[in-house]
Structure 1
């Protein structure tokens, strides 16, 4: 295939795929157009916007979603981790129904919040959670954790990292860090930026701060929106020590990552956070967030002793509280282990496809060809995690798999990576597999081994179909 043909290959293929998609989803297009009369872009959730228009769903059951156009998809998105129980879990349905039979919107405390708080603290105590407060979303939980750090330390600066996402008002892609004046929805805190997973560069940033100015270090131990990049154990220990030495608070955003360990990610990594933020599945699939941590820090929110405010009409709503109680019983330590094992097995199968088709680079003799990790935002490196060997940046594969445990991401590199990502998304939709447009694939409990095999087969087909261009 000629060089000039390859240079536009993904763009041309994506254009054709979008045309086919539009033909298949006429009713979704009609509803999108109608919705644009009442919502900007016909959308109220940016992440769901895709070109030429998003699918609109009519129903969900188990691991499947049915669109208004009559197509049924295997759901490999799981509502970005919030839907870890699938679309029709009977235990959660029964718990919510029983709670609502007693009424809702009390405008007062309820018994469910007490039970859920106890379950959450006991579950994540080893990660540093001594007291907890509930919110409505992960965004709110991180907002309140930051407020706690500012009030507790009396300082203003917050260290955050490239590729970090901590909610709709705390987004730090590389382009924002390079130019914080680009239009954005971020809160106007005094942020300080450092590259993720880079101890030397982070140390340099910290060393250049004014003395006694850092209130908090905020990070995801596994960046969800940033491509399922996991922090190294060394990086986490480094940040824990830096926070302690500087008198700052270490805020660990486990909105997604808490699902990767029976007691949370921090406990699995062997560290304790000062504050932790939660969200997603802990609310049983309902609107949920939480933050908490050290008893002395959380005392700021004791209304009998402190003037610091944390209101919220729906913080203790009975739908979320009752669903969360049932959900934590379902997603217990055994379920965590099983889902992570399924994710590791799936990742190996996907990597073997890329190895078999020559998409992963050559690496030294004796290095494992099955345990591979990739970090592609901080001057990308290709890392063989089993023996620590790193290849140079230019060896980053055109297509690769990132992630840990039950959280996976199919990703692409190079100047045309956005076109490849879009092409992959439409390829999977054509095979009736639904996932995030960015290739994010968080597994959930309703999926079966057969479902995973169907996903792997679709990826294998994609690679074989586009192999020559992917090798270019």
Structure 2
């Protein structure tokens, strides 16, 4: 069993960070030696692109891998190294690389020409498939070129519909390049270039704070609430059911629109995560996987709202875009929506849940030995110390050293894997009073004096998310661990985001999951003493 920084002195903590930094430097050196072609490509690109980059999220130190090809669930770099792809193009690559059905559909469409400058048969079929799949929310739909555009149009639609200006979003929310609220400004590594709407930024999963923010707004000023049912880029943080229900109720009672950004989360259930949760938004946005992994986005929802875009009606809203209905994306989308049927969707998300359970088990066994840990039961289980979306299962099913999870203990972007609550009426670490129910307590409290003191409630590595979208988390006090894990996984021929984000694809199976779990086991065994 390894110790963690929670039990370390400040000097020991600093030494562990220095050791992690030294270990990362060694991995950087090996990585540079093994990837000369990627290094050369990066250095050449710096002459023509700022930092050799045209997509910020793909930057990695000391330089990013440049890929030459992809097939199935693997990617091959310019240096000839083949990696199992756990990044999944940040959810857009759900079909893997070079899916035969989608490729055939694209090839067939190209034989008929492209850039037609008019309607084409594929867009009609795709619109029907999308509306039927995402019923009852998606009564009418319009296409865009990306999820960013889809969210921009959804916000513009809400402003036009309500005649109001303010849009409630949430810290940690990411809705596209110009709709980014990923971090508090003081913590952001990069600055946002957001559209100049009247944004109101709330705290995700915090009903009380959100209610206070909304109460402070001028009457009838809120046009819409834009929210992800699970924060994606902030670290796969599920929205709690009570929180999302609160947003639905508030929007309805104040004549504002509820917009679910399901660019990512629409793949977590056949009809989308909102439908699985039993919450119907007024508008819904979709992203590239619905377009077969091509350049694609969509926004739609209530018929009465979307009919504002009916060009046959006087005074309708305009929505332009040369490639909104491009034949490549339309054909790929028609094929992709059929490939990703309900059975395939469920299998993929079950695979992700299994990966999450296995990684959690590896971490708990390494840092806590053979002690009891939360059971993995249905959607309501505690996975990686993250609150479930299912409030019916908000307590552990067997006695553990962890406290009972209550609805006021929710993950947030600043605390994606929260510590378990202290004993009743004892101060939280932030100095506030614990208002949990009387039976909520840690099992090392006076009610259980026979048990030894609890181990740290937050492990130095945890995993959050739902289904096929997951993220790994390390303590903020350990700045080198995310990159250390990233480069360790690269050394095991596994590719994921440097910040720990993962999205599985349909080409994967248990063999790939077991590969990832084994590499994670090797990581905690090798670097556990610096965690």
Distance 1:117 1:382 in 2: 45
> Aligned in 2, Cα 1:461/1:48: closer, same or farther, shift over 3 Å?
same
Q: Deviations over 1:354-385 (max 9, x none)?
A: 110126998xx88537732422534562369x
2:375 corresponds to which residue?
A: 368
> Aligned in 2, Cα 1:57/1:360: closer, same or farther, shift over 3 Å?
farther
Q: 1:26, CA displacement in angstroms?
A: 0.7
The structure 2 residue matched to 1:257, chosen from 260, 265, 279, is 265
Name the structure with the higher helix share: 1
Matches within 5 A, 1:285-434: 285-305=293-313, 306-358=315-367, 367-368=374-375, 371-372=382-383, 373-374=385-386, 375-379=411-415, 381-382=418-419, 395-417=457-479, 419-434=480-495
Q: 1:311, CA displacement in angstroms?
A: 0.4
Give yes or no for contact 1:164–1:173 (8 Å, CA) kept in 2. Answer: yes
The number of residues matched between the two structures is 461
Partner-residue secondary structure (3-state), 2:275: helix
For the pair 1:67 / 2:67, whether they are aligned, the reply is: no
> Aligned in 2, Cα 1:203/1:359: closer, same or farther, shift over 3 Å?
farther
1:454 corresponds to which residue?
A: 515
Q: CA RMSD in A?
A: 2.3
The structure 2 residue matched to 1:175, chosen from 162, 180, 184, is 184
> Aligned in 2, Cα 1:36/1:366: closer, same or farther, shift over 3 Å?
closer
**Unaligned stretches of 5+ in structure 2?**
4-10, 387-410, 422-436, 443-453
Give yes or no for contact 1:383–1:390 (8 Å, CA) kept in 2. Answer: no
**Unaligned stretches of 5+ in structure 1?**
none
Distance 1:361 1:318 in 2: 56
1:227 corresponds to which residue?
A: 235
Distance 1:293 1:343 in 2: 29
> Aligned in 2, Cα 1:421/1:359: closer, same or farther, shift over 3 Å?
farther
2:193 corresponds to which residue?
A: 185
1:284 corresponds to which residue?
A: 292
Matches within 5 A, 1:97-136: 97-126=107-136, 128-136=137-145
1:246 corresponds to which residue?
A: 254
1:9 corresponds to which residue?
A: 19
Distance 1:53 1:179 in 2: 23
Name the structure with the higher strand share: 1
Q: 1:143, CA displacement in angstroms?
A: 0.2
> Aligned in 2, Cα 1:9/1:214: closer, same or farther, shift over 3 Å?
same
Give yes or no for contact 1:96–1:319 (8 Å, CA) kept in 2. Answer: yes
The structure 2 residue matched to 1:141, chosen from 150, 160, 168, is 150
Distance 1:360 1:166 in 2: 40
Distance 1:367 1:17 in 2: 34
> Aligned in 2, Cα 1:376/1:20: closer, same or farther, shift over 3 Å?
farther
Distance 1:175 1:185 in 2: 14
Give yes or no for contact 1:156–1:213 (8 Å, CA) kept in 2. Answer: yes
> Aligned in 2, Cα 1:5/1:179: closer, same or farther, shift over 3 Å?
closer
TM-score of the aligned structures, taking structure 1 as reference length: 0.93
For the pair 1:32 / 2:49, whether they are aligned, the reply is: no
1:94 corresponds to which residue?
A: 104
Give yes or no for contact 2:367–2:459 (8 Å, CA) kept in 1. Answer: no
Asked which structure has the greater CA Rg, the reply is 2
> Aligned in 2, Cα 1:376/1:299: closer, same or farther, shift over 3 Å?
closer
> Aligned in 2, Cα 1:103/1:390: closer, same or farther, shift over 3 Å?
farther
TM-score of the aligned structures, taking structure 2 as reference length: 0.83
